[in-house]
Every structure is written in structure tokens, then in C-alpha cells.
Homo-oligomer: A and B are copies of this chain.
Amino acid sequence: MTELYDVAAIGNAIVDVIAPAEDAFIAANGLDKGAMMLIDEARGVELYEKMAPGIEASGGSAGNTIAGIASFGGRAAFLGKVAEDQLGDVFTHDMRAIGAHFDTPRLVGGPATARSLINVTPDGQRTMCTYLGASTEFVADDIDPAVIEAAQIVYLEGYLFDAEPARRAFAKAAGLARGVGRKIAITLSDSFVVERHRDALLGFLETQVDLVFANESEVTALFETDDFDAAVAALRERVKICAVTRSAKGSVVATQGETHAVEAFPVEKVVDTTGAGDQYAAGFMFGLARGRPLDVCGRLGSLAAAEVISHYGPRPLASLKDLAASKGL
């Protein structure tokens, strides 16, 4: 089968509502700074009323990653569920406008398109409250075999472990990908996701996954330890490649045979960390799909992350292809 795509990703299709907030606002509203919290529609309405004026932008972790792949000049596909509403129009437009394949049937007559209320504090940290709405209605039937089988890497968003039907969709996608010898990648997404689904995630990693993305808090949560090195050592035993990000400290890329410490790219001012991990994954997988060595994959990830945290919004504004060329990558 021809490889039409560098990466095909499955994730929650979400529109972000991004607004500035003070630390006191995060505390007063009982939010967990830097984390992602699931909320229902009523809580969403209540929180939105208290937030500052914002902007809306297409988001969703895997959706952001696909936007990054496209910005590097890669070929990408996205699978996820939006509703037949205005925010669904926005998400669909933004995905297709970057040249990504996006063809999941829209949800009719159910909940609205998912949105994430993102409060960005003066230190650039983002705190997310997500109403999943239509995105949880993504089911195994939405997996298009032609897309999955035509992708070099199939990328799965750990957030989807929260919905049982989506987990079945994962299994189907993984099976299809495995059947034609594709690579399977996953991001652990969030330490609370890891806490909620530790056993299921570990089982999935050991049996299905080639490449795993995690940050420091996710990998230590997975192995219930405070020892970062021990957690990475445990992870590399279970998958072919792990790429663990550590914010300003860069990332560690490890296989059973190699370890690379990758530096973060310097950023003049961290404006909004939304999408940093997503863009790291984009750079890394673009490099991997194009046959680059693992340390270069890590540097491409760092470069993309640095671009996205230097401005408001979860997706690259500059061409990552041009940026990579300017840095000799």
C-alpha cells in the first residue's frame, strides 16, 4: 500500500477558547494550574461567564499535532468528531485549510462541538477545562481503514482513553496499522489521564505501541515514582522509542540502545504554553517519518514547541518548514 500520509492522528476535535487570567482566578475557581480538567456543559457555561474576553482557535491535542506536521510540509490526516454547528465549521475549515485530510462524518442531533476553556496566566502556563461534547461520539465505525493503512505513523491521543467507544476505535486503528506494518505512536496526554487509566495504558503500550510521548509528570505518574530517570528506564523497557519532554529542560529520547538528551530551543518570552507538547510530537514524528536520526527528531520537536509557546494559540503561526531550514535542520 502506498504511504499517502506521514502521520494519521486520532483525537478529540476541540475548539479552544483562550483568555488571559491571573493566578488568583485559577485558585478561586478551584482549577488545577497547568492541568486539563473535564467539565460538563453547565460548568462550562458558569466558568466561561467569569473568564476574560478571549479568542477562539481550533485546538485539540492531536489536531494541533497534525497542524504542526502540515506546517513542516508533511502529509497528514486527522480523525475526530465535531458537530454540525459553527464551531464544527471552524474546526473543519482549519484542518482542511492546512492541507490535512479530514473526513470524519459530523455528529447530527447530539451534543455541540467540544470546546476547551483555556486560562493563560502571566507566566504563560495554560490551565484547561474541557467540555468534550460531540468529540466523545467518535466510534470504531469512524475509523477509515484506507486512511489508517496509508499512514507511516498512526498517532493516538491518550485523552481518548476517557471514552470507552473511542478506546475501541483505538484498538481497531492499532490492529489495522499493525496489519500493514505501520508504526503506532501515542501521547500520554495528561497525568490525570494516566492516573485514571494506568493499567489500560500500560497494557496498550506493551502490546501495541512503538513510540510514546510523555512529559515529566505523566511518565512519573505512569510508574508511580518521583524518580524521573527510573520512570524513563521503565518506559524504555516497554516500547521501542520514548520521547519525554521536560519543559525548559528539553527532552530525553530513549530506546533500549540509545539515550539522547535534547536541549530546548531558547524562547524570548513564553507567552502561552498551550500546544507545546503537541508541537514537540509533530516535529518528532515528521522527522521520524522522513528517516531522520532520533536526536534530530528531538530537535525538530523542540523547535516546533518553541515556536508555539512564543505566541497565543495552540498551533504554529510561522512555517515550521522555513523555521527548520533556517536552523539547518
A contacts, CB < 8 Å to B: 17, 19-20, 48-49, 51-58, 67, 85-87, 90, 93-94, 96-98, 112-113, 313, 315, 317
Contacts and interface: CB of A to CB of B under 8 A. Distances in A.
A313 B97 CA distance: 20
29 contacts: A17-B90, A19-B97, A20-B317, A48-B93, A49-B93, A49-B96, A51-B97, A52-B97, A53-B58, A53-B67, A53-B93, A53-B94, A53-B97, A53-B98, A53-B315, A54-B94, A54-B97, A55-B55, A55-B56, A55-B57, A55-B313, A56-B56, A56-B57, A56-B90, A85-B85, A86-B86, A86-B87, A86-B112, A86-B113
A211 to B, nearest CB: 26
A53 B71 CA distance: 11
A101 to B, nearest CB: 15
Given A17-B90, A19-B97, A54-B94, 16 more contacts: A20-B317, A49-B96, A51-B93, A51-B97, A52-B97, A53-B58, A53-B94, A53-B98, A55-B55, A55-B56, A55-B313, A56-B57, A85-B85, A86-B86, A86-B112, A86-B113
Contacts of A85: 85-86
Contacts of A67: 53
Contacts of A53: 58, 67, 93-94, 97-98, 315
Contacts of A57: 55-56
A57 to B, nearest CB: 5
A48 B89 CA distance: 10
Which of A86, A96, A113, A313 gathers the greatest number of chain B CB atoms within 10 Å? A86
A58 B313 CA distance: 16
Contacts of A86: 85-87, 112-113
Nearest to A315: B53
Nearest to A112: B86
Contacts of A98: 53
Contacts of A17: 90
Contacts of A58: 53
A20 B317 CA distance: 9
A57 B94 CA distance: 15
A235 B56 CA distance: 40
A20 B71 CA distance: 14
A90 B17 CA distance: 9
A19 B317 CA distance: 10
Nearest to A316: B53
A153 B305 CA distance: 47
Nearest to A97: B53
Nearest to A51: B97
A304 to B, nearest CB: 16
A49 B94 CA distance: 9
A55 to B, nearest CB: 5
What 4 A-B pairs are tightest by C-beta distance, nearest first?
A56-B56, A53-B94, A86-B86, A53-B97
Contacts of A112: 86
Contacts of A97: 19, 51-54
